[in-house]
Amino acid sequence: MARSESVTQKEQLERAAKQLVQDYEEKIRTFSVREFLKSDVDPFRFSFNVDAWGLKKAVRKEIEHKLEMALEDLFGEFHENYLGNAKHAKSGTQWEKVPKGQISGVDIANRKMKAFLQLKSKHNSMNSSSAERLAQQLEKCASNNPGSVVGCGWVVAGPKRKCIGESNVEKVGKVYKGRELFEFVTGNEKEMDEVLRDLPEILQQALKGHDFNTLLDQAAERVSNALEQQARLRSISLAEYLYQMAVK
């Protein structure tokens, strides 16, 4: 795999995986009723789950659903942490993770290669409005850095599937998808294959000593109690409370 100055890419992958696990655990550990209600809960589905599984299990299932959505964002950070710390094998130049907001629309950059990229986890990570905004940001970046490679890279995307926002990006910059993205960043055409080969074992090591099941049970207990308290204060059922919060 490509190497950075003193840290191999495999070691960088271990660091990114460790950070991913820590961030995910923190999400569960601090999950609150506010997080539970942040994106509305479907009161019909929730009522079904309460009758089918009981209150605590229904709350846990809803938390798990929301954690899956949060995990997609965490994997966005994971890819930034990994690719944003890669050394391009052929040129010997270093990539860096760009702090949020420092360069609008850019997640990772290689100053010596004069390359600036936005990263997306999947082909459908954007909608039409965010795609238009990204195209404007990339166009501005290209204008501020003449002669640079400016564009967007989608990690989980293939050459035959059009990504949401791909047409917008093509008008102002480069498009990289899947293996092509990893090869462009690291200079190694097999980089993505090697990452996926090594990742399961690395994640197993990173997950050692972490008990997500217990933390989820504690979160479900915490949120269930808070929800029941809110419903009692209003003298309504929990389903009615969630209905009111969702429909408003």
The DSSP-derived string for 195-209 is: HHHHHHHHHHHHHTT
In the chain, where the domains are located: 1-90+190-248, 93-186
So what's the pLDDT on residue 161?
A: 87
Among the listed residues 60, 173, 197, 189, the one whose alpha carbon sits nearest the alpha carbon of residue 117: 173
So what's the pLDDT on residue 1?
A: 53
So what's the pLDDT on residue 40?
A: 86
Question: CB neighbours (10 Å) of residue 95?
Answer: 24
Which residues are bridge partners to 96 per DSSP?
109
pTM of the model: 0.90
So what's the pLDDT on residue 7?
A: 66
As given in the structure block, the two tokens for residue 157 are 């995307």
We find that the CATH architecture of domain 1-90+190-248 is Orthogonal Bundle (1.10)
All residue ranges of the chain with pLDDT < 50 are 2-5
So what's the pLDDT on residue 248?
A: 73
So what's the pLDDT on residue 4?
A: 42
Task: Tell me the CA distances in angstroms from 195 to 7, 23, 98, 127, one per residue in order.
Answer: 15, 20, 22, 28
The separation between CA 19 and the C-alpha centre of its own chain, rounded to angstroms, equals 12
User: Which run of H or of E encompasses 29?
Assistant: helix 9-29
So what's the pLDDT on residue 8?
A: 81
